[in-house]
């Protein structure tokens, strides 16, 4: 039976094991930047990321097994780079495994620039940057934790920023966004439609 017919019935998904590889779901894809204990830059791709409320807070899911978690705890800061669709190769390479000594030499070959307000780096050429101070880490999500930060600096390519004199649909079409389709695929978002919110809806 086709999955898109009107008479299709939901099937159970076994929640006795992780469900997230059983279907595709849309997520942002960012590079979280930190510095290791020797001051070397680390960039790690993350797709479990989100604004934390309507104010200037940002969070991402990580695991204590990754250097990112230890780097944030030690330094108290992290950066976030939103890559363009054309930067899929750089984003992929940033996921390269570490060497036995913990070093991640591929980062040395990625084009980066210094962060403006915190001690760290961002990837060159991204369309949006956030610089954050560590607010808290929440444990208890199995092997994972949620790292939240306060955004202390934000900047980006003006072609991606909304403006009252420019139609949102035209903006996204001319400056498409990079989306991750977990697990393991990506897409370029260029064609969009306004969502039909009820007139009375408020944040």
Q: Convert the pLDDT of each residue in 167-202 to its tens digit.
A: 999 999 999 999 999 999 999 999 999 989 888 777
Strand order in the sheet with 177-182: 25-28, 177-182, 185-189
Q: Which two tokens stand for residue 33?
A: 């930047």
Q: What is the mean pLDDT of residues 18-39?
A: 95
| pLDDT confidence of residue 3 | 55
| pLDDT confidence of residue 102 | 61
pLDDT of 118 above 80 = yes
Helix, coil or strand: residue 60: strand
Please report which confidence band the pLDDT of residue 149 belongs to, taking 50, 70 and 90 as the band edges: very high
Q: What is the mean pLDDT of residues 125-143?
A: 97
Parallel, antiparallel, or unpaired for β 112-114 and 49-51?
unpaired
The secondary element (H helix, E strand) that includes residue 129 is: strand 128-141
Say how far apart CA 46 and CA 126 lie, in whole Å: 15
Q: What is the mean pLDDT of the chain?
A: 91
SS3 letters for 170-187? Answer: HHHHHCCEEEEEECCEEE
Please report which confidence band the pLDDT of residue 92 belongs to, taking 50, 70 and 90 as the band edges: confident
pLDDT of 97 above 80 = no
Helix, coil or strand: residue 108: helix
Say how far apart CA 108 and CA 21 lie, in whole Å: 32
Q: What is the mean pLDDT of residues 13-17?
A: 95
The secondary element (H helix, E strand) that includes residue 69 is: helix 67-75
CA angle 4–10–12, rounded 5-degree value: 135
Q: Among 1-10, 31-40, 133-142, 176-185, whose mean pLDDT is lowest?
A: 1-10
pLDDT of 34 above 60 = yes
CB 29 within 8 A of CB 121: no
Please report which confidence band the pLDDT of residue 99 belongs to, taking 50, 70 and 90 as the band edges: low
Say how far apart CA 41 and CA 99 lie, in whole Å: 15
CB 61 within 8 A of CB 18: no
pLDDT of 75 above 60 = yes
pLDDT of 1 above 90 = no
Name all domains of the chain by residue range, CATH numbers in brackets. Answer: 25-189 (2.30.110.10)
């Amino acid at each position: 039976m086709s999955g898109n017919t009107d008479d299709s019935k939901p099937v159970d998904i076994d929640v006795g094991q992780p469900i997230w590889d059983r279907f595709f779901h849309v997520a942002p894809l960012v590079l979280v930047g930190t510095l290791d204990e020797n001051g070397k830059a680390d960039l790690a791709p993350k797709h479990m990321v989100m604004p934390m409320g309507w104010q200037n807070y940002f969070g991402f899911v990580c695991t204590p097994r990754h250097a990112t978690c230890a780097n944030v705890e030690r330094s108290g800061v992290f950066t976030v780079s939103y890559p363009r669709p054309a930067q899929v190769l750089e984003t992929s390479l940033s996921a390269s495994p570490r060497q036995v000594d913990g070093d991640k030499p591929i980062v040395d070959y990625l084009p980066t620039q210094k962060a403006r307000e915190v001690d760290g780096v961002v990837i060159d050429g991204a369309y949006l940057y956030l610089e954050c101070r560590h607010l808290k880490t929440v444990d208890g999500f199995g092997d994972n934790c949620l790292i939240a930060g306060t955004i202390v600096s934000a900047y980006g390519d003006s072609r991606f920023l909304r403006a009252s004199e420019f139609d949102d649909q035209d903006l996204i079409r001319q400056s498409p966004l990079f989306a991750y389709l977990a697990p393991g695929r990506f897409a370029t978002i260029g064609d969009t439609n306004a969502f039909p919110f009820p007139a009375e809806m408020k944040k």
